[in-house]
Amino acid sequence: MIYDVPCINCSTLIRLSRVLKKFGPIGRGSLSLRTRSYLFCTLYNCKMNSTRALNCQYEEAVKTLNSLQSNSVTVELVKRHKNLRMSNNITETQKYLNRIGITLNVLDKLPVIHIAGTKGKGSTCAFVESILREHGLKTGFYSSPHLVAVRERIRINGLPIDKREFSHYFWDVYDNLYEQKSDEKDMPAYFKFLTILAFKVFLKEDVDVAIVEVGIGGEFDCTNVLRRPAVCGIASLDIDHTSILGETIEEISWHKAGVIKSHVPVFTVRQQPQEALKVLYERSKEKQSKLYVSPPLENYDWGGRLIHLGLSGYVQFLNASLALQLSHYFLKNRSNLSSDSISKDENFCGKPFTLTEEDIFALENVVWPGRSQIVTKERMTYFLDGAHTITSIQSCIDWYEKISLQVPNDNVNLYKILLFNLTGDRDHEVMLEKLFSCDFDAVLFTTNLITKNMTASSDQTNFNVSDAKQISRCQSFRKYWLRLSQEDERKKCQQCLTFQCISDAFSWITCEKDSTDQINVPLKLREAEHIQVLVTGSLHLIGGVLSVLDPTLAQPAFDGDSTNQSMVDIVRRKFTQSRYSTPGAP
């Protein structure tokens, strides 16, 4: 049977799968509809070159992945019945892993460093990955959320898996799960699917170590399906995700300590709230595990060198020390991690040691975009920090006020802007009160939407919150900021605006002629010799801003280059034009 295919586009490719039903029933042991459609296009020489075919596969993969997101109504229902839903998380993850052939016994063979925490867990993971890679290990790294491309969440040797690999692994897992589902709702949700996908990738790629960052909490997080991590870490704890984890530091700490496993050592940072530290000690004792507190970074032997980290801010000293303890333990005990014996070498745990050349190089060259990052473009300097808790906002302010004095360091006509958004149930009033102390000329509140019309195949599409709710929250932020301004005569003339998307906010900031809010652009901004923009409050906002700064980063197209484009390249190559623009500039 020959089909006339004069022109094949992405949507047509998928619709062809229905035609291929005629080739036989679909079920376990047979080809999936989507696989048949790709075979069809290959066999009948459709007019798609290889790059376009790859584009199609990747774009459809992201679109299908986004369909697994919970919509805003479902998210609200989950929050109301959080205990029931959360307790099923690990059981469901195990079920779906079994369906793709990964039993818990198989998963136990994966060498894992499991890291939880409220803030700093991503940075700690990045330090750990960098250290172990410099020591010659093949690393896997699973993190969330992504900034620009979903591929960032799954990395091999520090780089996101490329679009070809992502598409291959995605459809392998998705088709397997789709063909075995018992009903229409029997598919893992977005984060759960990505967790399963990451484990599949790490096992297939045969990594020496997988660094796994917890999503939310720990006790009921999907990643806690892991039964035998090599070592666990808990970064700084703070109040966050209160609708899910509880409203007190003790409740939140209980959830975070859920990653602790029997006879597996756990390390934490030294500047934990006392209430949190008490809970960590109690839970580690309950699980017959030893808790170690990381020493000050200054206490390690740096061989006479000055301490310099690839990530700036004093809080990174805590994260770097935690990472050193976790990495050192893993390297020391790597040979017997697969053994059932629990007599591991723990005599050095919690103590400073002499750093190797590999350790120092890894700490100095680690890259973790969106955290204390500086981007310079023409007369603009963007200060990007995904701070989203009260404590981290204060750390962000301390960093910004210090570094902004150096950029530019000449006496120029300067204009300062705050670009802010906040997601979830976080306390915006306290955060805005802290930011109010900064001397901004304009304050802009925007949703995390890059444009007003986001497509379903965009890496940054978010169905978890409605557009209307995002805009409403921005209006609430503006209302509270204006209320603060009424109490300060100096700031009554300050510009304070809301925007429906990041692109509109950028049109205003850059004084573009087609900006719908051009009438509100003040003369001082137009005539400014240099503009500083602090972007903070949400990692999703940071990702959107990076996409607007360089639109090619958000394009799903495969670039045809064998060199994998990553956020590491973006920071090091695209946005490092001045001596101030590296993430860890002192």
In the numeric block, the tokens 């940072």 are attached to 269
Domain shared by 325 and 391, yes or no: no
Q: What percent of the chain has pLDDT over 90?
A: 60
Q: How far apart are CA 579 and CA 42, in angstroms?
A: 50
Structure confidence at residue 467 (pLDDT)? 83
Cα atoms in the 13 Å half-sphere on the side-chain side of 560: 5
Q: For residue 36, is it within any domain?
A: no
Domain shared by 308 and 387, yes or no: no
* Residues making up the binding site: 144, 213, 241, 371, 385
Cβ contact 539:123 at 8 Å: no
In the numeric block, the tokens 């109504």 are attached to 73
Q: How far apart are CA 362 and CA 353, in angstroms?
A: 16
* Residue 110 confidence class, pLDDT cut points 50, 70, 90: very high
Q: How far apart are CA 240 and CA 466, in angstroms?
A: 21
- For residue 444, what is the domain's CATH number? 3.90.190.20
* Residue 454 confidence class, pLDDT cut points 50, 70, 90: confident
Quick check: 455 pLDDT over 80?
Answer: no
Domain shared by 377 and 485, yes or no: yes
Quick check: 347 pLDDT over 70?
Answer: no
Domain shared by 322 and 377, yes or no: no
pLDDT tens for residues 495-513?
A: 899 999 999 999 999 987 5
Structure confidence at residue 555 (pLDDT)? 46
The least confident of 331-345, 397-411, 451-465, 479-493 is: 331-345
Domain shared by 328 and 400, yes or no: no
In the numeric block, the tokens 């001397």 are attached to 439
Residues 6+ apart with CB under 8 A from 544: 448, 449, 450, 460, 502
Mean pLDDT, the chain, rounded, equals 83
Cβ contact 468:449 at 8 Å: no
Quick check: 235 pLDDT over 50?
Answer: yes
Question: Which of 56-65, 126-135, 520-529 tops mean pLDDT?
Answer: 126-135
Domain shared by 318 and 377, yes or no: no
Structure confidence at residue 313 (pLDDT)? 82
Quick check: 268 pLDDT over 50?
Answer: yes
Q: How far apart are CA 382 and CA 369, in angstroms?
A: 13
Structure confidence at residue 337 (pLDDT)? 56
Q: For residue 61, is it within any domain?
A: no
Q: How far apart are the first and last CA of the chain?
A: 67
Q: For residue 144, is it within any domain?
A: yes
- Taking the CB of residue 177, how many other CB atoms lie within 10 A of it? 18
Read off the pTM: 0.84
Look at 343 and 68; give whichever has higher pLDDT.
68
* Residue 371 confidence class, pLDDT cut points 50, 70, 90: confident
Structure confidence at residue 4 (pLDDT)? 40
- Interior CA angle at 257 toward 129 and 153, to 5°? 35
- Taking the CB of residue 299, how many other CB atoms lie within 10 A of it? 12
Structure confidence at residue 180 (pLDDT)? 96
- Asked if omega into 6 is within 30° of 0 (cis), the reply is no
* Residue 453 confidence class, pLDDT cut points 50, 70, 90: confident
* Of 101, 580, 128, 66, the residue nearest 373 (C-alpha): 580
Q: For residue 94, is it within any domain?
A: yes
Structure confidence at residue 579 (pLDDT)? 33
Enclosing domain of residue 384: 373-556+567-575
Look at 74 and 179; give whichever has higher pLDDT.
179
Domain shared by 282 and 396, yes or no: no
Q: What's the average model confidence in pLDDT over 46-64?
A: 75
Q: Using CA of residue 204, residue 207, residue 208, residue 209, what is the dihedral sign?
A: negative
DSSP string, 268-297: E-S---HHHHHHHHHHHHHTT--EEEPPPG
Q: Are strands 154-156 and 530-536 parallel, antiparallel or unpaired?
A: unpaired
Quick check: 560 pLDDT over 60?
Answer: no
- Taking the CB of residue 277, how many other CB atoms lie within 10 A of it? 19
Strands (E), 421-465: 442-446
- For residue 291, what is the domain's CATH number? 3.40.1190.10
Structure confidence at residue 343 (pLDDT)? 47
Q: List the strands of the sheet with 112-116, edge to edge.
A: 159-160, 154-156, 139-142, 209-213, 112-116, 231-234, 266-268, 291-293
Q: For residue 87, is it within any domain?
A: yes
User: Letter for the amino acid at 90?
Assistant: I
Look at 17 and 271; give whichever has higher pLDDT.
271
Secondary element (H or E) of residue 90: helix 89-99
Structure confidence at residue 488 (pLDDT)? 77
* Residue 442 confidence class, pLDDT cut points 50, 70, 90: very high
Domain shared by 391 and 455, yes or no: yes
Cβ contact 313:287 at 8 Å: no
Structure confidence at residue 83 (pLDDT)? 56
- Asked if omega into 229 is within 30° of 0 (cis), the reply is no
Structure confidence at residue 242 (pLDDT)? 80
* Residues making up the binding site for ATP: 371, 385
Q: For residue 382, is it within any domain?
A: yes
Range 206-220 burial, b when 16+ CB lie within 10 A, else e: ebebbbbbbbbbbbb
User: Letter for the amino acid at 64?
Assistant: T
Domain shared by 422 and 545, yes or no: yes
Cα 66–chain centre separation: 16
Q: What's the average model confidence in pLDDT over 106-135?
A: 97
Domain shared by 353 and 471, yes or no: no
* Of 300, 297, 308, 298, the residue nearest 586 (C-alpha): 308
Q: Which two tokens stand for residue 552?
A: 């090619």
Domain shared by 322 and 386, yes or no: no
pLDDT tens for residues 382-393?
A: 999 999 888 899
Structure confidence at residue 156 (pLDDT)? 98
* Residue 47 confidence class, pLDDT cut points 50, 70, 90: very low
Quick check: 196 pLDDT over 80?
Answer: yes
Residues 6+ apart with CB under 8 A from 224: 89, 90, 114, 214, 218, 258, 259
Q: For residue 119, is it within any domain?
A: yes
Domain count, the chain: 2
* Residue 427 confidence class, pLDDT cut points 50, 70, 90: confident
Distances in Å between the alpha carbon of 417 and those of 293, 401, 490, 540? 39, 13, 16, 19
Q: For residue 164, is it within any domain?
A: yes
The least confident of 59-68, 439-448, 453-462 is: 453-462
Q: Are strands 209-213 and 139-142 parallel, antiparallel or unpaired?
A: parallel
* Residues making up the binding site for Mg(2+): 144, 213, 241
Domain shared by 218 and 88, yes or no: yes
